[in-house]
Amino acid sequence: MPGEILINYNEVYSKTAEMRQRIQAELREVNATYRQTQSTLRTMDGKTNAAFMEALQENQQRIEVTADTLHKLLSFIENSAREVERNEQMHARVFNSSRVMVRRGRGGTHNA
């Protein structure tokens, strides 16, 4: 039907879960790299190294905020899909029950 939007809810839920896992894996890898770099820089002297470490820490915090934002967006997508799915199921139940009532009213069978 033209203009119809078909949503595969299981795929939405599967992909959002997959994306969450990938974000967590990337975040763990980035954090490990930051810790390793910071550990190396601590053994060196100098004002430049201190500034570099500060920049690394700021970037690490930004990455964590970005990952948190992506998690929130994925939750929004998943929750929206669940709401649409519930609405579709409710409409289907209402439609199916009204078909039964119309058939009964016309002297038809009791099955839809």
Q: What is the pLDDT along the chain (112 residues), one digit of tens a residue?
A: 567 778 889 999 999 999 999 999 999 999 899 888 888 877 777 887 888 888 888 998 999 999 999 999 999 999 999 999 999 999 888 888 776 665 655 555 544 4
Query: Is 40 within the bounds of a domain?
Result: yes
pTM of the model: 0.64
Query: Is 27 within the bounds of a domain?
Result: yes
Query: Is 72 within the bounds of a domain?
Result: yes
Q: Which residues contact 84 (CB under 8 A, 6 or more apart)?
A: 7
Q: Give the count of domains, the chain.
A: 1
The CA-CA-CA angle for residues 11, 15, 18, to 5°, reads 140
What is the span of the domain harbouring residue 23?
11-79
Query: Is 51 within the bounds of a domain?
Result: yes
Query: Is 49 within the bounds of a domain?
Result: yes
Query: Is 46 within the bounds of a domain?
Result: yes
